Amino acid sequence: MIKNTNTSDKDEKVSEIIEEVRNCNLACYSSKYTFPLNTRTNGKRRTISVEELKNGKPLIDNWRNQPVLFISQAPSKQAWVDNELSSLNNSFLTDFLLPKVYPDQSLNEALEQWKQVVFWVHTANCYPFVHTDGRSKGRDKAPDLRCVNRYLDRFVNTMKPELIVLMGGSSTRFFSRAIKSTINSNKNYPPLRDILEWQYANKEGLIVRSKSGNDEYGSVIIPHAANWDKLNENEKYAYDLVFESLRRFGTDN
């Protein structure tokens, strides 16, 4: 597997890609922002206007030479309009992830540790909007692969992370060729359920590869979940593996 190499050249190249993402003007989902949305911030109801949605900018983390690449589905509507990713307003971090990764630290300390260890991107760095009918009404739509196909390989090949964390089914689709081979799946895009079952049965993460290179990277796949009590055994194992890995990177660094 590839180890992270810290060079000023890498810092410059990663920073250049970040700026490209932040200045992207494709506006892949803006045509869908046609009515206001309700959300909660710190327990308080809030209405996000159409204008706020349309004024959102591609959201991506700052580069701090982090060893871990964390890839999730897409920004929440709140993060999108506030232009905040790793912040104390992110309930997934403050209520679920940080207390379990860094149980002996305050939230402020844990957040700073997270920022030094994790570089966070999405398969789509813009908010993909919501389902408007059917059983999924009100839930965020899964993004397509336009954004990830445009930028992610460059991030992986330049950053050369020591670990890649893939959260949710959307993030696994980009690495589906390597995942399919590892778990011996006959599906082009192995379902998240099958991947989690393989991880649990083998008691290890998977090896993934970038599309344009042969370098291999250790990865852990987790579901998108913020309620520990509702996770099954496979899902809890995946999260425990991530908790342990992030704590280890924090100690190593």
Contact 225, 235 (CB under 8 A): yes
Q: What is the pLDDT of residue 42?
A: 66
Q: Which residue numbers in the chain have pLDDT < 50? A: 1-4
Q: Is residue 216 part of a domain?
A: yes
Q: What is the pLDDT of residue 126?
A: 95
Q: What is the pLDDT of residue 134?
A: 66
Q: What is the pLDDT of residue 2?
A: 46
108-129: string of b/e by CB count within 10 Å (b at 16+)?
eebbebbbbbbbbbbbbbbbbb
Q: What is the pLDDT of residue 213?
A: 72
Q: Is residue 3 part of a domain?
A: no
Q: Is residue 195 part of a domain?
A: yes
pLDDT in tens, 175-210: 999 999 999 999 999 999 999 999 999 999 999 998
CATH number at residue 167: 3.40.470.10
Q: Is residue 36 part of a domain?
A: yes
Q: pTM of this prediction? A: 0.91
pLDDT in tens, 115-150: 999 999 999 999 998 877 766 676 788 888 899 999
Q: Is residue 170 part of a domain?
A: yes
Residue 214 CB: number of other CB atoms within 10 A?
6
CA neighbor of 249 nearest in space, from 57, 63, 115, 94: 115
Domain encompassing residue 154: 8-252
Domain count, the chain: 1
Q: Is residue 115 part of a domain?
A: yes
